[in-house]
Structure 1
Amino acid sequence: MGFDFDFDLLRELTETSGVPGYEDRVRDVVRRELAERTDEVRTDAMGNVVGTVHADGGDDTDGDGNYEVAVAAHMDEIGFMVKHVTDDGFLKLDALGGWDARVLRAQRVRVHADGGDVTGVIGSVPPHTLSDEEKGTEESVEDAVVDLGMDAEAVAEAVSVGDLVTMEQSTVELGDCVTGKALDDRVCVFAMLEAASRIEDPDVTVHFCATVQEEVGLRGATALGVDVDPDLAVALDVTVASDVPGVKEDKHVTELGEGTAIKLKDSSVITTPKVHRRLRDVAEAEGIDHQLEVLPSGGTDTAGFQNTNGAKPVGAISVPTRYLHTVTETAHGDDIADTVDLLTAFLDSETGEHDYSL
């Protein structure tokens, strides 16, 4: 089967842990890759990583250097923090990011403790013992209990309040697709890294930004909007692809295999019309499969750059993904490749002379 991109790197990125505020492990991978693909790499106090490719030329619109473009994709994945250890040695969790609690039951997890990672499972009460009323109860993260398979004394020695918890899942090929945990948003971090490796002697300075704490409120991108202060920003994130049985066509948002998605809006941002128009023009000129995205709810790093440090033109490119915020997020290989192609072509054609003002 195979893909036209580095599947091993994508697998490493998705399988590596990094919940909001504790992106350390995946940040190490991103720093390693950006160091090979950009002119300089820096990390800020929040943990955002910025790899910069300096301009070979280009227009200076504000008198403080070359025209600057920020490309952003977030490193953090949804996960949990241990909030309580029961007297019986079970863990209670606080969510870091938005979980669909229906998918948590009977999942294997990894607890990141000071003494090393510990495997656990989120327990599930056998249906034989549930009443009809209990069977119909809506589940929540509050109800989740992690079983480490140890007695209470051993658990107390191994785990403490504040330890992080991530889902334990491998990333594999699934037909023409990739499936696993944390494709949101590591598949876009991957696309950004691939584009960075293809850019040579750009006319503008490009900052490739791997952001933190997106899943808890776009916090890293908002800080970077001030610190990087670009003339133009393009964010990458996954988007809904509900093209599955039981969902009406007008609720699909995007469809797998139909190309990369050019965002028109989500609940956090309305992208700049001239930016998304140019993204469409580039895709059409390069023969890159694409579709338009109108996302009813859900925010992205795009909003973090739009007005944080004054009004800025923004655009966004999305990877259509099924089963978001589960451990089986699924994206089509062609859509991933199209996302890399569009981002690369857009950056290669950016001169700093396009007028995005309204």
Structure 2
Amino acid sequence: MRTEPHAVGVNPDYAFDLDILTELTEESGVPGYEDAIREIVERELDDATDEVHTDAMGNVVGTVGDGDYSVVIAAHMDEIGFMVRHVTDDGFLRLDALGGWDPRVLRAQRVRIHTDNGDLRGVIGSTTPHTQDDDEAEPTVENVHVDLGLDGETANERVTPGDLVTMEQTTESLGEHITGKALDDRVCVFAMLEAARRLDDPDVTVHFAATVQEEVGIRGAQALGVDLDPDLAVALDVTVANDVPGFDEAEHVTELGAGTAIKLKDSSVITTPKVHRRLQDLAADRGIDHQREILPAGGTDTAGFQNTNGATPVGALSIPTRYLHTVTESAHHADIEATISLLTAFLETETGTHNYTL
């Protein structure tokens, strides 16, 4: 069953639902274990699309329309996190990374350990400056430890190697920004869901795909590229916004508040020129704020669809985000709305007759 779009906004200028965005970002779901996020996405897609299904990897696909030409819109559900690799006799946890962490941001953080018998809270320890040596080793994922506040025997009874660990943080509005953990890529999952709600009777078949295991190698999108074999694919992800002190303008990649970012390249993909040009022309025609994205390093689900089942035209929209892969990732309300608006306009005007071949 289809329903009307949400009308609850973080700002009267934007018609999106902060409660759903908060629910998505605060919930936990590391690569391969996206179960809790999948439930939210299935619930929302059930309201916004005609049919919803999942696959053996855990990808969720909501489909609307019945045209011969098919388009996939993809955003990944997983967030970077950890798996417990060892519990010491003294009750401290040692971790194995799931995704790309900068170890510098780990010290003195609160975490949540997800066990078969419920969640536990812990802190990643950091030695006091009063006792640090000048030559103390830089932190690595392998040498950080989680303190549960439990003795060794109890910790070993309650935690098992293989249990999952995620960062603990609330999602907040901060001026014109939204900040919290896992905006990568839940803010784009949210944008995709909102576009699904706004889209009405498309001329083509649209598959809204929430993918898994992007943070460990774009694995879910690669599987869907084969299973869905779309005629066109557009992926959504966050991108670097280094528009903060300490970086010159050439290092910004994108800037918060300047609009949705239309990707030209990253280290995994060069988007199809005819696709990104149509996105740019459409944004200009509709008065939607936008900027070009040229990302020196990093990959997205876009690459998972480009050639996994033969050549497929691909495009990508990105939401500029500061402080990526930390618990204070920050995006601008206006850029979120611009991404939703451009994606919706792109799907409303996709007839299946555009020639994207080169």
Using the size of structure 2 for normalisation, the TM-score is 0.96
Q: How far 1:271 moved relative to its partner?
A: 0.1
1:17 aligned to which of 8, 28, 49: 28
1:203 lines up with 2:214 in the alignment = no
The whole-number CA distance in structure 2 between the counterparts of 1:205 and 1:272 is 20
Which residue does the alignment assign to 2:313? 313
The answer to whether the 8 Å contact 2:10/2:17 transfers is no
Cα root mean square deviation, aligned: 0.8
Q: Counterparts of 1:263-282 in structure 2 under 5 Å? A: 263-282=263-282
1:41 lines up with 2:43 in the alignment = no
1:2 lines up with 2:16 in the alignment = no
Q: How far 1:139 moved relative to its partner?
A: 1.6
Q: How far 1:2 moved relative to its partner?
A: 2.9
CA deviations on 1:43-77 (whole Å, 9 max, x unpaired) are 0000000000023x5xxxxxxxx100000000000
Which residue does the alignment assign to 2:125? 123
Q: How far 1:138 moved relative to its partner?
A: 2.2
1:81 lines up with 2:83 in the alignment = yes
- Stretches of 4+ aligned residues off by more than 4 angstroms: none
Counterpart residue type for residue 13 of structure 1? L
* Secondary structure of 1:274 counterpart: helix
The answer to whether the 8 Å contact 2:264/2:292 transfers is yes
1:177 lines up with 2:197 in the alignment = no
Q: Counterparts of 1:291-306 in structure 2 under 5 Å? A: 291-306=291-306
The whole-number CA distance in structure 1 between the counterparts of 2:319 and 2:224 is 23
Q: How far 1:143 moved relative to its partner?
A: 1.3
The whole-number CA distance in structure 1 between the counterparts of 2:176 and 2:263 is 24
* Secondary structure of 1:284 counterpart: helix
Which residue does the alignment assign to 1:100? 102
* Secondary structure of 1:132 counterpart: coil
The whole-number CA distance in structure 2 between the counterparts of 1:157 and 1:34 is 39
The whole-number CA distance in structure 2 between the counterparts of 1:153 and 1:102 is 30
The whole-number CA distance in structure 1 between the counterparts of 2:100 and 2:138 is 16
Using the size of structure 1 for normalisation, the TM-score is 0.96
* Secondary structure of 2:330 counterpart: strand
Counterpart residue type for residue 151 of structure 2? D
Which runs of 5 or more structure 2 residues have no equivalent in the other structure?
1-8
Counterpart residue type for residue 331 of structure 1? A
Q: How far 1:112 moved relative to its partner?
A: 0.2
CA deviations on 1:273-296 (whole Å, 9 max, x unpaired) are 000000001101110000000000
Q: How far 1:247 moved relative to its partner?
A: 0.5
Q: How far 1:156 moved relative to its partner?
A: 1.0
Q: How far 1:144 moved relative to its partner?
A: 1.1
* Secondary structure of 2:323 counterpart: coil
The whole-number CA distance in structure 1 between the counterparts of 2:196 and 2:144 is 40
The whole-number CA distance in structure 2 between the counterparts of 1:71 and 1:322 is 24
Which residue does the alignment assign to 1:215? 215
CA deviations on 1:116-135 (whole Å, 9 max, x unpaired) are 0000000011111111111x
Q: Percent identity?
A: 73
The whole-number CA distance in structure 1 between the counterparts of 2:59 and 2:10 is 32
The whole-number CA distance in structure 2 between the counterparts of 1:266 and 1:148 is 39
The whole-number CA distance in structure 2 between the counterparts of 1:138 and 1:258 is 36
The whole-number CA distance in structure 1 between the counterparts of 2:185 and 2:295 is 16
Q: Counterparts of 1:314-333 in structure 2 under 5 Å? A: 314-333=314-333
The whole-number CA distance in structure 1 between the counterparts of 2:273 and 2:353 is 16
The whole-number CA distance in structure 2 between the counterparts of 1:131 and 1:125 is 10
Counterpart residue type for residue 117 of structure 2? G
Q: How far 1:220 moved relative to its partner?
A: 0.3
The whole-number CA distance in structure 2 between the counterparts of 1:152 and 1:115 is 18
CA deviations on 1:239-258 (whole Å, 9 max, x unpaired) are 00000001011000000000
Q: How far 1:299 moved relative to its partner?
A: 0.2
Q: Counterparts of 1:223-234 in structure 2 under 5 Å? A: 223-234=223-234
Q: How far 1:223 moved relative to its partner?
A: 0.3
Which residue does the alignment assign to 1:348? 348
The answer to whether the 8 Å contact 2:218/2:301 transfers is yes
Which residue does the alignment assign to 2:115? 113
Which residue does the alignment assign to 1:61? none
CA deviations on 1:186-237 (whole Å, 9 max, x unpaired) are 0000000000001111000000000000000000000000001100000000
Which runs of 5 or more structure 1 residues have no equivalent in the other structure?
58-65
